[in-house]
Each structure stands twice: as structure tokens, then as C-alpha cells.
Structure 1
Amino acid sequence: MRKIIFLSLILIGLGVLLSFRPDRKPLSFPSSRVLPASKKDLQYKTHSVKQSVVHTLLIPASSRFLVTPTLSPELSSLESFVQKHQAIAAINGGFFDPENRKSTSYVMLQGVWVADPKDNKRLMNNLKLRPYLKKILNRTEFRRYRCGQTVRYDITLHSEPSPTGCQLLDALGGGPRVLPELTSVQEGFVDFAKGKVIRDPLGSSQPNARSAIGITSDGSLLVVMVAQKPEAPSNSGLSLPALADFMKTQGVEKAMNLDGGSSSCFYYKGKTVYGKINQQGNQVRRELFSVLVIR
């Protein structure tokens, strides 16, 4: 019996020695860095689409992050919004008048309307806008509800009532709707005469810097910012139809346009990207009235 035990120990020892041979490959284990991202993680990507760089941030429905609007009546940089609200990400929000610093979009925070375009006298008294005023006051908005114990997001017209059993917490007006259908004529106020476009204040059919937010079939949110290229300031970016096509490829079912052009900007984890490029090839930085923050 002792001989058997002794021989067993010798064999074990030889096995250990053999395992440390210089020519033997060490055992390897998969690194956690190559594992797929958690379904609860924010997912930031950049895409090369036509003459533009598109920045996207996916906020999974199962994540703990909230997307809420905020505003600054004095107009502030995107970085100031981020710092004040300790946001991990942010994108520019709704429309405003840079001359009188009044909103032309509705904004609700925690159940209270804090910005009402009807309070903007330059907007309400503008004779050129009178034919469009009714629609301006009923544009598409991004909403956050509390439905029982859950949080729910939607994109709908301002006049739409809240779903039964849900309390409207936040809302941010924008427009036009991008998906499921593009409402450039109804909300972008595109007009035609003799088959030609005579009015297109958002430059809907032209490439430009754009900002948008969308909702996928599972309730996840996708933030999108389209940046122009410095070498092509006049013909880079995306048109609204191209933006709709891109967001559709990302699984988005509902989407709305945010204030674009010079207002387009996006922040994520310490870095700010500006969408608009001037003729000298430099980024345009504009102070903002409202912002969507991710916390």
C-alpha cells in the first residue's frame, strides 16, 4: 500500500514538472474586454454615412439611465448643462429664438410646463408665420411618462393626451416627426408652387448637421447627431429623408427631429462634438436654450 502511494506521488510530481515545460503553451482564458456589451450599458458608435459622421448613443430599455429635458433661459453651452446636471451624455434640444432668447417649443419638467411658445411675442406676432402658427403650437414632442412603477417614453404631437394610467413627467418639443413618416410639409412648413419648393426653413432636402431622438421596438432610445465634414462645409451632413433612412436601419420605429444646424452638438463621457462646420472649416459652437440629458 505504501509503495502504491509513493508511486502515485511520483507520477503527480512528474505531471506538475511536465506542465511547466518551456515549450508548453500556457492555459488561456477569454478576456472580459472581448465579451459583448451588457444589455444595460450605453452603446456609443460613430457611422460614416454619405458625406457625414453620425454619432449615435443607444440607451437600452433595460438600463438604469434616464433621458430628461432641461433648460437655461439665459442660454448656455452644452458643457454647462452637463456640468450642472452631472450628465453622462447630452444632446441639444428644441427650437428657440436667439434674438429674444425665448422658446418656440414646449418644455415640461416634472409635470410643470416651463416653456410655452405662446409666451414668445416675436413668434406670436410674426405676420409671416401666422398661416403656420396653429401647427407650430402643435408640433411633435418627446415625452417621458410614469405608468405605475415603470417609466415609459413616447414621441407624439403636443395635443395628444397621456395614455390611461400614465402621468406625463417631462416633454420637449421639436419636429418634424422623422419616423414612422416624415412630416416635413406639415411640421417643417415646406411649401410648393408649380411643383417647386418655395419655402423650406429647415432645409429638409439639403444636407446639414442634424440632431434627433428615436425609440426602437423594445423601448430603447437612440440619440443621433449628424456632423458635417470640415473639408466639405457646404455639401456634407444629411437631409431629413436621409436621416429617416439611417435611423430606420438602426431599428428605430418612432423618431423626431431636434433643433439642428448650428445648434447640433453632442456630449459623451468628457467629449463634445459639434455638428455644424463654417466655410473656414471650423466647428460652430452655439449656446442653447434646452438640452436632453442622459443621467
Structure 2
Amino acid sequence: MDDEFGLLGEAADELGLRDPIPAVRRVDTTVDEHNVSALVWGASSPRAVFLHGGGQNAHTWDSVLLTLGIPVIAIDLPGHGHSSWRADGDYTPAPNARAVAPVIAKMAPDAEVIVGMSLGGLTAISLAAAVPDLVPQAVIVDVTPESPHRAAELGQLARGTVALIEGPQEFDSIDEIIGLTAAAAPTRSLSSIRRGVIHNTRRRPDGRWVWRYGRFREAPAAQPIWDSLAVTTAPMTLVRGGRSPFTTDEDAERFRARPGPTDIMTIEDAGHSVQSDAPLQLADVIARVLTHE
């Protein structure tokens, strides 16, 4: 493995995992003259596809995927990670779904589940409505179509990734970014935060550090995504973070009213970034979805 994957051993040790680390490689695909980058875990046909949240990248799933130990792909959404940025700054769910659909069709045609967190979850909903054959079932992590509005309501009270997205975009050092991230996510280990920051930043030629994602021009509007959800029939599991304010009881019940089978569960000790706060518990949920327990 090259340097990009050199931190996986540290993550595995932190999780108490002793199994060999699977082979992981980065694969780039051109879609409409844009690059869509993905991490491919394992050598077999992927059983699952993972879509991260806004301001994150495919490495946000590392701990979950180390725990699961199955072949998967984790995609960098447009404007994030190693995928191309869009000139129009439109990183909303519908164009995201159009960008990832051909990648999934090519690289994970037999995937059994699409897992999406926050923006990735809304992208999965849009994908399920537009190309239902690519979404046999889905795990939607701490998001409903109303969540961007909830985030806007919170304003300065927002914590975690949401607060960081709205904060400074340039920094003198990577340690400055680690400090800000630790303050926004006080329940996460410093080593986990450091790994996340390393994967989610880059150093410019002038020596300044910047995030490895494009800033949103506007949040996704709720109604088009509710409309998409209303035509989805694939089984879906909505996983809520017990400490997260972004998915309310009211929104969860509206989510449940979709025509397809729907389970709703809560991981009590997790905030919005469930994959970072409770990777073992989230991996267990996904494993049970895969085995139809």
C-alpha cells in the first residue's frame, strides 16, 4: 500500500482489530469530463458502496470498513477528496447521483447496499429514485431531506463537520486544523481526528493549508429530495445519531412514510458523524442489513 493507506494500521489498532488489513487501492473514473475517484477495498466484486457527507471524503469510512472486512468501494463525491471540483459549485444530491451512477454501474454492479451519510445519504436517495436498479437497499446515516434546513437553523450552534465547513478555509499549519477539529468533535480521539485531517487537507505551494473539498454555494432544497424519496421502493434503514440535532423525530416519521420498507434506529452515543463516533456499532448495523437480520 502507498502512503495514502499507511494510517490504516493505526486505525485498526485503535479498534482492537487483529485481522490482516485488506488491500485498498484508488481508482479514478472519467464521468462527463470530470474525475470521480474511489477507494476499492478487497479484490472481489464490491458488496457495498459508501458515500460520505459534505466536507468529508471516502476515508471517513476507514474504521467502518476495517470492521466490516468485506469488499466495498467508497467514493469521493464531486468536489471532495480526489474527485474533480465543479465550476458551478453545485454539489447537491441530484448532480452527485448522476456523477456516481456510472461509477457504481461499472465498479460495483452487484452491490447489495448503498450506504450514504448526510450529503451522501441524500445522494443515495436521489440515486434510488433515478436509477433504482443500482440501489437494491440503502442505509441512510443521520439525514433526511429536511436536514440541510435543520443545519441552517442551528447556525453557530452547529458542531462537528458542519461547523468546520462554515468556518475558516485557510490555515497556517495542519496542527491548527487538528486543534479546531478536536474542539468541534470533543468525543473523538485525537489520533482519529489527526487521520481525518490528514486525508481531508492539502498544502498549497505558498505553504498554507486548505480543505480538500469545494465549498457549497447553496444547501440542497428539501422538497425535491422528499419527492425523490416518495418514489423509492427499495428497503431503507435510517440510522440516527442519538446526540445529533440534524434528524428530528418529525422528519424521521415523514421518512418512514415512503412507500418502501423502512427501519429507523438510533445509535445513542453518536453525533451526526456516526461513522466516526461509533464505527463498530454502525458496521454492525450494515452487516445485519447485508444478512437481512
After TM superposition, the score normalised by the length of structure 1 is 0.26
Bigger Rg, which one: 1
Tell me which of the two structures has the higher relative contact order, counting C-alpha pairs closer than 8 angstroms and 6 or more residues apart.
1
Comparing both structures, which one devotes a greater share of its residues to helix?
2
> What TM-score comes out, normalization by structure 2 length?
0.26
